[in-house]
Amino acid sequence: MDWDGRIGGIRQGRSGDTRAPHKPLLLLYALGHHQRHGAAPILYSAAEDRLRLLLEEFAPPVKRPNPAQPFHHLAHDDGLWRVATDDGRDSRPDPSALRAGGARGSLTPEFSRALEADPGLRTRAARLLLDANFPASLHGEVLALAGLALVPGRWAASADRDPRFREAVLAAYGHRCAFCGYEGLMDGVPAGLEAAHVRWWSQAGPDTVDNGLALCANHHLLFDRGVIGLTPDLTLDVSPRFEPRSAEAERIVTGLAGRGLLLAEGTPPVDADHAGWHRREVFKHLVRAA
C-alpha cells in the first residue's frame, strides 16, 4: 500500500495561493493520538478544543476556526480516516451535529495496522505533512501541540532548495537581522542569523532575495508564527494577540511595531506580493473570538 502517496495526495481545498492545512493538522493530531492510544477512536467533543487551537495557531487567521470541517471531510480522502456516529448516519461538518451525534473519528484499520507494522511510517507521514505545509522553524511547535512525539528536523530534500539562498539573503542584509539589527560572528561565520522566506518555501515561495529576510533565530520563529508581520508599506507590525510578559518582550517584540526594515544599501525590497501573502496567510491580525 502506498501510504506516502495517500498522505501526500490529501485534498486540501486550496484556492489560489491560500493555505489550507486543516486536514494535515487533524491527521498529525490523529497520529499523536494513535501513538499514545493505538486504534482507540477520537471523540469529537473531547478533541474539539485542541483541534480548534491547532487551527488558531497554524492555519490562516479567521475569527472562529471550525475543526468540524476537517474532522468530517478527511473521511472523503483515500483510506486514511473514518467517522462514525451514534445513530449510524453520515457525519456533517457542523460542530453541534458532531457533538450531539457522538461523532468519533479514527484512522482506518488498514492505516492503523500499517503504523503498527512499520515503525518508520509515523515519522514519514509526519514529515510529509509538515514539509508540505509549514516551514521547518514551526515543525517542533506543531508536533508539540498535536501531541506527536517525534524529533523535528529539516526533512525536505536539500536538492529541492537552492543552497545559495541563505548566503545571498544574509549578504543582501549586511549580515544583520532586518528587524533588530543583531549581528554576530563565530570564527568569522554568522552565528544565530538565518535566511527566512517571506512566502514559505512549502507554499511555492521562491529562493530569491526579494522573498527573503535576514533574521536572528528568535525573530525568524516569531515571523513564521505570525507574531510579527509586514504592513503594505513594509513597516513592521505586531499581532494584537501577542502578550508581552516582560520588559524584554516589550523591547524585542512589541517595540518593533512601526519600524522599517533594516536594509543594507542596494538591497531589493521585499516583493509586495510575497509580503501580502504573509499578511493574509500567516500574520495573526485578527483577535480570537470570545
Nearest to 23 by CA among 83, 90, 97, 103: 83
* pTM, rounded to two decimals: 0.88
How much is the pLDDT for 158?
44
Banded model confidence at residue 252, pLDDT cuts 50, 70, 90: very high
Q: Which helix (H) or strand (E) holds 107?
A: strand 104-107
Tens digit of pLDDT for each residue in 178-234?
999 999 999 999 999 999 999 999 999 999 999 999 999 999 999 999 999 999 999
Please say whether the beta carbons of 6 and 125 come within 8 A. Answer: no
pLDDT, position 154: 45
Each residue's pLDDT tens digit, 135-164 = 999 999 999 999 999 866 544 444 456 779
Q: Give the least confident one: 12-26, 27-41, 68-82.
A: 12-26
Q: What are the tens digits of pLDDT across the range 55-111? A: 999 999 988 899 999 999 999 988 999 999 999 989 999 999 999 999 999 999 999
Per the DSSP assignment, residues forming a β-bridge with 193 are: 216
Residues 30-49 have a mean pLDDT of: 97
- What contacts 155, CB < 8 A, 6 or more positions away? 127, 130, 131, 136, 139
pLDDT at residue 175 is higher than 90: yes
Q: What is the average pLDDT score of the chain? A: 92
Cα–Cα distance between 107 and 104 in angstroms, integer?
Answer: 11
Residue 289 has pLDDT above 70, yes or no: no
Amino acid 91 reads S
CATH architecture of the domain covering 3-146 = Orthogonal Bundle (1.10)
Domain ranges of the chain: 3-146, 160-281
d(Cα 197, Cα 187) in Å, to the nearest integer?
A: 26
Q: Is the C-alpha dihedral spanning 186, 190, 193, 196 positive or negative? A: negative
